[in-house]
Structure 1
Amino acid sequence: MMKCIHTSVINGEIYAPASKSYTIRALAGALLAEGYSQIVNPAICDDTKVAIGIIENLGAEVEHSLNSIKVKGGLRIKNNILNCGESALCVRLFSAMAPLFNDGIKLEGCGTLLKRDFSDVVQSLAGFGIECSSNQGRLPLTIRGSYHKNEIKIDCSVSSQFLSGLLFTLPKLNSDTNVIVTNLQSKPYIDLTLEILGYFGIKIYHDEFRIFKIQGNQKYLPTNIIVEGDWSNAAFILVSGAVAGSVKVHGLNIDSNQGDRKILEVLDKSGALITIDKDFIQVSKNKLDAFKYNATDTPDLFPPLVGLAVNCKGISEISGVNRLRNKESNRLDALISEFTKLGINIYFSNNTLFVEGGDIKGCEVNSHKDHRIAMALVIAGLNSEEQIKINDSEFVSKSYPEFFNDLKKIGGQIDE
């Protein structure tokens, strides 16, 4: 599907979409808790629908109602083939849970997920003595065996998602486990995992995120969780206000463990006008200057930050590009390719992406079937000289199905 983005003036207010990462973790916890858990304000997108299908296959009973999901937890495997869609989080989270079952578990996927490398999962499971066959590190993964070792060392330089999976899984074992972590990336997502585990009564101790001491025989307690707004997706809306007018966003927790709330710091550095109220966050256009930001722990901020940088005076520097290659697309190549088409001087050197602000020309671009690339290109289109046509724009449904509708509500000029 192609969307055409025209020069727009942003003015209005919306509610932030619910957090995808929060929802999927809450679903995983609800699966492991015997009894009924309620997830209020869940994110409903492609990835969370996949997660619901997975927990149902592993034994959960799920009921949908207006603005909530009720989950009756319990591990009673119904289908040992788990379709992870295009969700890497589901692959890493539920591959860690697979050894809880006596039968082998097979994890499959589709689309861009089939190109992604999960060698970190294969190697980490091998450290536990668990067999994990793969297609040269790619899906499908077939996992057989159970946890026996009481101490394991894992490398989290690629992703922290498998560590999150272990933190959900290991409290279910009969014995205690120590997990020694090296090269931890995206630490805020581990904070988020620990927060949600706490809601289910699970206690995990760690030494500055280097050694996690996990007591066995813990019991997941059913609970009610209210899912907070998604900073990763709201970042695009906040940037739209900074570059093209003014926007109020409701439903964001300023004290959230979501690392992508750092978008506010960057907007402030660049000169955007920011108002933080107990009920909303408002971001308005102002003279914008180039900024520097290390996105190693918050790689999902790269696309909205590029959308911001093209509207700033000077050359912005965003470091941590090594985190971009194993995403829905090779995001580094995709950002450089598509924003170059828009007439932007964008390049990388020494793990840093350099983006020079300038006039944005209209042309036809491609999302690379990546939801965040699509949204970044939309933000660029708000100030383009002529319309920008974005191919494969429908992939925003992976995390934010209402993105185009929300943007239209606040003044975005979008048509097909």
Structure 2
Amino acid sequence: MNGLNQRYTVRPGGRLVGRLRVPGDKSISHRAIMFGALAEGVTEVDGFLEGADCLATLAAFQALGVRVEKPGAGHVRVHGVGLRGLRAPADPLDLGNSGTAMRLMAGVLAGQAFDSTMVGDASLSSRPMRRITEPLALMGARIETTQDGTPPLRVHGGRRLHGLDYAMPVASAQVKSALLLAGLYADGETCVTEPAPTRDHTERMLSGFGYRVQRDGPRVCLQGGGRLIGGRVEVPADISSAAFFLVGASIAPGSDLLLEHVGINPTRTGVIDILRLMGADIEVLDEREAGGEPVADLRVRHAPLHGIEIPQSLVPLAIDEFPALFVAAACAEGETRLSGAAELRVKESDRIQVMADGLAALGVRAEPTPDGIVIGGGGLSGGVVESHGDHRIAMAFAMAGLRAAGQVAVNDCANVETSFPGFVVLARTAGLDMDASA
């Protein structure tokens, strides 16, 4: 359903039971298209997330001259053109709502012989890009932003890039990935050192495509001028999407849910660690590997939760899951404190403020701080919540309806399709009593 006025209405009660598989991992789906396009030969991608964000990446590479086929649901065939085979696009590349796509593609486009422009929707057009453009400039790239450092991004081609040894001031997988992608086109060695661990899908996938990557603790390096070789990528279910169900089943009495084939990359499992610290009952079953990524089935049952001080070491490992975790905190006994998460203020929305406002609308004490939030647990009333077009906030408050004292309505939910197509149907199947309406 399109239209920004889409509303979720969730009636109280319900429990989550059965088995389900959430859609494919968004981060890995983006990268599978990018690396498949830049590789030599054909890449077959299974489990591809057909949400708006990843489809924007796919369309951008089609506009850059890459042939992409979709022979079946979740299956994409990418005919790679090699690192130097992209062609100048006829029009600006529209990346919709996807910050991941824009920031990673900045690294790719910085190494091309042609000029290009990237644009996005209203949300993406307000998000900070200097964290990407400034280190890329140190490599020799020239990328123009607005005066505020936001999109559109105008990338000047024909620049000679050189390797860089960069210590990131803030942990960010998107910055790390953009620099490594630019490093494919650079003379010499590009090294990135991160202050805290972030998701390592780029490094894993580069190795999977035959590109030599050296990893030494927080430091990752590669030499420019190599080649990527196409192959098969199996995309696991997205732990960021699974997080809503992990929280929902934890807070709803009588819940017993098995989430199948979920990616449990150790740079992404902060949500499990934090929920367990709060008292959640989550089992990790049948651990295995798929396409270079660790996967498992996750069994989650209702358990009484208690408030905690969230360890700062876990913050980068759960950065996208905090909207769901804030709902868990609201249903816990006692106070939950988060700090060291200023990054949340520059996501699809200011997730600290928007979540605080939404929790307050449901009767929860929520005190935002510059880099976090303090949430007083104990339960939720019914009410109306504004998601501000942020898909993760919309889904988090849908799960809140399981434990609210009255009906919860969530406005502006159309962007859920960017990351979790079919969310409403899957949530209903599991036991959430909800409707979506225009």
* Contact 2:10-2:434 within 8 A present in 1 as well: yes
- Tell whether 2:261 aligns with 1:251: yes
Distance across 2 between alignment mates of 1:156 and 1:57: 34
Q: Give the letter aligned to residue 143 of structure 1.
A: V
Q: 1:98 to 1:147 in 2, by over 3 A?
A: same
Shift of 1:169: 3.5
Tell me the equivalent position of 2:153: 141
Shift of 1:170: 1.9
* Contact 1:339-1:346 within 8 A present in 2 as well: yes
Secondary structure at the aligned position of 1:89 is classed as helix
Secondary structure at the aligned position of 1:76 is classed as coil
Stretches of structure 1 lacking an aligned partner (at least 5 in a row) = none
User: Among the aligned pairs, what percent are the same residue?
Assistant: 25
1:146-161 to structure 2, matched below 5 A, reads 146-153=159-166, 155-157=168-170, 159-161=172-174
1:121-270 to structure 2, matched below 5 A, reads 121-136=132-147, 137-145=149-157, 146-153=159-166, 155-157=168-170, 159-173=172-186, 175-181=187-193, 184=195, 187-189=197-199, 191-210=200-219, 212-244=220-252, 245-254=255-264, 256-257=265-266, 259-270=267-278
Q: 1:215 to 1:346 in 2, by over 3 A?
A: same
Structure 2 residue aligned with 1:87, among 98, 102, 105? Answer: 98
Q: Give the letter aligned to residue 193 of structure 1.
A: T
Structure 1 residue aligned with 2:305, among 275, 288, 308? Answer: 288
Distance across 1 between alignment mates of 2:182 and 2:136: 13
Q: 1:33 to 1:335 in 2, by over 3 A?
A: same
Distance across 1 between alignment mates of 2:387 and 2:40: 42
Structure 2 residue aligned with 1:334, among 340, 351, 354? Answer: 354
Stretches of structure 2 lacking an aligned partner (at least 5 in a row) = 1-5, 287-295
Distance across 2 between alignment mates of 1:230 and 1:213: 27
Query: RMSD in angstroms over aligned alpha carbons?
Result: 1.9
Q: Structure 1 stretch 316-325 or stretch 68-77: which is displaced more?
A: 316-325
How does the TM-score come out when normalised to structure 2?
Answer: 0.89
Q: Structure 1 stretch 24-33 or stretch 318-327: which is displaced more?
A: 318-327
Q: Structure 1 stretch 136-145 or stretch 262-271: which is displaced more?
A: 262-271
Distance across 2 between alignment mates of 1:350 and 1:23: 32
Distance across 2 between alignment mates of 1:10 and 1:400: 18
Tell me the equivalent position of 2:327: 307
- Tell whether 2:103 aligns with 1:68: no
- Tell whether 2:381 aligns with 1:361: yes
Secondary structure at the aligned position of 2:37 is classed as helix
- Tell whether 2:7 aligns with 1:2: yes
How does the TM-score come out when normalised to structure 1?
Answer: 0.93
* Contact 1:124-1:154 within 8 A present in 2 as well: no
Distance across 2 between alignment mates of 1:247 and 1:291: 24
Distance across 1 between alignment mates of 2:370 and 2:409: 32
CA deviations on 1:305-362 (whole Å, 9 max, x unpaired) are 1011111100012222311111100111101111111100111347342111123111
Distance across 2 between alignment mates of 1:207 and 1:158: 16
Q: Structure 1 stretch 99-108 or stretch 308-317: which is displaced more?
A: 99-108
Distance across 2 between alignment mates of 1:261 and 1:158: 16
Q: Give the letter aligned to residue 159 of structure 1.
A: S
Shift of 1:61: 0.6
* Contact 1:106-1:142 within 8 A present in 2 as well: yes
Q: Structure 1 stretch 379-388 or stretch 121-130: which is displaced more?
A: 121-130
Q: 1:170 to 1:178 in 2, by over 3 A?
A: closer
Distance across 2 between alignment mates of 1:407 and 1:322: 30
